């Protein structure tokens, strides 16, 4: 009886080992439509033809390294053939072209290769990814790369990253983000609608932030801006209704329209002496009580403080000393 149990146990282990080996094996070349890449030294995957929901792209096909995942290669698989849930991309791949996995709404995990350099526009837009960790070879996140990835909660950015494109993480559910020290630009609406994000610290390397980059981040409580900024763009924190604290760095000369509009939990703000122009930046901040500003010439938009009904008298006098002539 003991012998039979041991035989059964060993057979079960062997079966599990075989299953794991099968799971880890790359899909056969027949699961893909493919061709040579643009430079003729590797393979470009044109389309996924397989039926497996778990995909392991082979490192070589017909003796050539697989270097490129082509435009929309897996996009239609999500809609017509199979709901892909996981993809492992081999280390031979250096480029993922635009829309490669667009609309793969059941895709939860992707293993990026260590040598990946380029990820195209909308490559993972509307996908079901929950976590993303970039290799240290990626320098740019293109426009709309993770647009409306509504399940994406965890993102690890590489130290190599220098720019984040427009709407790159639009309406993702990221709870926290750490920007690398070498980042220089954040595009328009890049993190707009990320309503689980609670805090942002923009490193001093960032010199450019696009319009409405963090608008609609309704859970955002604190924001520290780069000391290198000379302008706060229009709508930067528009409708960040939980924002309680923000520091406008010295060196900023203009604050764009709606930059802090409808930040309902913002109670105080200090405007540095470098600021010479303020748009309709604080309208709808109905809990704003204190504005600290020194007497120096500022060009104000007439609706800069529209709806700020709780401003105290000391703040109103300080604002008037800079040239504001409208009613509060």
DSSP string, 122-175: TTTTT----EEE--TT--EE-TTTTTT-TT--EEE--TT--EE-TTTTTT---S
Residues 189 and 166: their CA atoms lie apart, in Å, by: 6
In this prediction, residue 82 carries a pLDDT of 86
In this prediction, residue 79 carries a pLDDT of 61
In this prediction, residue 327 carries a pLDDT of 87
Tell me the CB-side half-sphere exposure of residue 135, using CA atoms within 13 A.
Answer: 18
- Are 243 and 220 spatial neighbours (Cβ–Cβ below 8 Å)? yes
Helix (H, G, I), strand (E, B) or coil at 54: strand
The tokens for 284 are 């709808």
Each residue's pLDDT tens digit in the chain (328 positions)?
444 444 444 444 434 333 343 346 899 999 999 999 999 999 999 999 999 999 999 999 999 999 999 999 999 665 667 899 999 999 999 999 999 999 999 999 999 999 999 999 999 999 999 999 999 999 999 999 999 999 999 999 999 999 999 999 999 999 999 999 999 999 999 999 999 999 999 999 999 999 999 999 999 999 999 999 999 999 999 999 999 999 999 999 999 999 999 999 999 999 999 999 999 999 999 999 999 999 999 999 999 999 999 999 999 999 999 999 998 8
Tell me the CB-side half-sphere exposure of residue 190, using CA atoms within 13 A.
Answer: 20
Residue tagged 């010199």 (tokens)? 207
In this prediction, residue 288 carries a pLDDT of 98
Phi, psi of 167, rounded to the nearest 5 degrees: 55, 25
- Are 29 and 61 spatial neighbours (Cβ–Cβ below 8 Å)? yes
Q: List the Cα angle 77/79/81 in 5-degree steps.
A: 45
Indicate the pTM of the whole model: 0.89
In this prediction, residue 123 carries a pLDDT of 98
Residue tagged 């604080």 (tokens)? 282
Phi, psi of 315, rounded to the nearest 5 degrees: -70, -40
Residue 167 φ/ψ region, left for φ over 0, alpha for ψ in the -120 to 50 degree band, beta for the rest? left
In this prediction, residue 140 carries a pLDDT of 97
Q: Which helix (H) or strand (E) holds 75?
A: helix 75-76
Helix (H, G, I), strand (E, B) or coil at 318: helix
Strand 140-141 to 118-119 pairing = unpaired
């Amino acid at each position: 009886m003991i012998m039979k149990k041991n035989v059964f146990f060993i057979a079960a282990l062997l079966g599990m080992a075989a299953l794991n080996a099968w799971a880890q094996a790359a899909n056969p070349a027949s699961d893909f439509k493919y061709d040579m890449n643009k430079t003729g030294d590797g393979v470009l995957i044109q389309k996924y033809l397989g039926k497996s929901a778990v995909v392991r792209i082979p490192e070589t096909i017909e003796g050539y390294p697989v270097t490129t995942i082509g435009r929309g290669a897996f996009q239609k698989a999500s809609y017509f053939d199979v709901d892909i849930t996981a993809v492992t991309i081999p280390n031979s791949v250096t480029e993922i072209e635009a829309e490669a996995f667009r609309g793969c709404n059941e895709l939860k995990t992707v293993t990026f290769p260590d040598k990946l350099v380029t990820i195209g526009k909308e490559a993972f837009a509307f996908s079901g990814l929950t976590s993303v960790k970039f290799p240290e070879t990626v320098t740019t996140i293109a426009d709309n790369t993770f647009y409306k990835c509504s399940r994406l909660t965890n993102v690890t950015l590489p130290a190599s990253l220098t720019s984040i494109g427009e709407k790159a993480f639009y309406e993702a559910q990221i709870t926290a983000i750490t920007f690398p020290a070498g980042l220089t630009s954040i595009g328009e609406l890049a993190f707009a609608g990320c309503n689980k994000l609670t805090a942002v610290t923009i490193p001093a390397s960032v010199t450019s932030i696009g319009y409405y980059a963090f608008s609609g981040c309704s859970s955002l409580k604190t924001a520290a801006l780069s000391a290198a900024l000379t302008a706060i763009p229009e709508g930067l924190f528009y409708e960040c209704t939980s924002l309680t604290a923000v520091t406008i760095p010295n060196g900023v000369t203009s604050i764009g329209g709606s930059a802090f509009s409808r930040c309902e939990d913002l109670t105080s703000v200090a405007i540095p002496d470098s600021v010479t122009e303020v748009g309709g930046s604080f309208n709808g901040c109905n809990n704003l009580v204190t504005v600290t500003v020194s007497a120096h010439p500022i060009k104000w938009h007439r609706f800069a403080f529209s709806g700020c009904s709780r401003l105290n008298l000391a703040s109103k006098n300080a604002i008037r000393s800079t040239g504001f002539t409208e009613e509060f």
